[in-house]
Amino acid sequence: MSDLETRLAAVEQRIANACNAAGRPRDQVRMLAVSKTRPAELIRALAASGLTAFGENHVDEALAKQPALVDLPLEWHFIGPLQSNKSRSVAGHFDWIHSVDRIKLVRRLADQRPADLNPLNVLIQVNIDAEPQKAGCTPGGIDALAAAVAERDRLRLRGLMAIPDGTASAEATRASFARMRELFNALKRDHPGCDTLSMGMSADLEIAIAEGSTLVRVGTALFGPRDPVAGANAR
């Protein structure tokens, strides 16, 4: 097995074990391969192993890689903070966005989503630990954003995303994921079509799955450490 296949098998095993420990069926949790800073050839290699969903956090980097992969039936997720002036590229070249956190972005993405594509799948990002430097709305801001997304035909509201404070203890991280689960359950009462809670990364996917994640976003555990130089772009 290649290193990539070995790491993929290890991550699959971690997800399966976490589902098992939580008493959840394995098919309730999808894996998003976070391919930021990785070349198109590595994405192709993972696709050959059966992964279909890939996440990128910089628009220009993603648009540079996508043309080399158009022959593959990939699902592209935009997971980074999005400046309004780049919304058209996301609307035109992605299937999902995880980082909608303001009404202006909702309006632009809806207006810019090309008519020949399926509606853009939208997750609302919540800044669950109220970190000043982090993107995301407040918990109190979810309802208005969800309503704005739901009323647009070119957008499809799917759920919530969060990135808890990476420096916090495992207990604090678990508490943040648990609050996300409550917010997601509340959202589903108003928007029953919502089916996606995007939380958990390489370091904390077990905790996220225990607290109800349906989509874990995995970068380093799959691809290995990110190059710190190429990765100035990366974090």
Ligand X SMILES: *Cc1c(COP(=O)(O)O)cnc(C)c1O
Residues that bind ligand X (CB under 6 A): 34, 36, 57, 79-80, 163, 201-203, 217-221
Shortest Å distance, C-beta 222 to ligand X: 8
Question: Helix (H, G, I), strand (E, B), or coil: what is residue 121?
Answer: strand
Q: How many CA atoms lie within 13 A of 23 on its CB side?
A: 0
How many residues are given for the chain?
A: 235
Question: Helix (H, G, I), strand (E, B), or coil: what is residue 217?
Answer: strand
Identify which of residues 128 and 152 has a Cβ nearer to ligand X in the complex. Answer: 128
Identify which of residues 79 and 100 has a Cβ nearer to ligand X in the complex. Answer: 79
Shortest Å distance, C-beta 89 to ligand X: 17
Identify which of residues 80 and 159 has a Cβ nearer to ligand X in the complex. Answer: 80
Shortest Å distance, C-beta 149 to ligand X: 19
Contact 155/195 with Cβ under 8 angstroms? Answer: no
Identify which of residues 13 and 111 has a Cβ nearer to ligand X in the complex. Answer: 13
User: From CA 3, how far away is CA 5, in angstroms rounded?
Assistant: 5
Shortest Å distance, C-beta 201 to ligand X: 4
Closest CA to 126 of 197, 191, 63, 193: 197
Q: Is the dihedral of CA 10, 14, 17, 20 positive or negative?
A: negative
Identify which of residues 35 and 87 has a Cβ nearer to ligand X in the complex. Answer: 35
Shortest Å distance, C-beta 29 to ligand X: 15
Identify which of residues 59 and 152 has a Cβ nearer to ligand X in the complex. Answer: 59
DSSP class per residue in 132-180: TTS--B-GGGHHHHHHHHHT-TTEEEEEEEE---TTS-HHHHHHHHHHH
Q: Which residue is nearest to ligand X (CB)?
A: 219
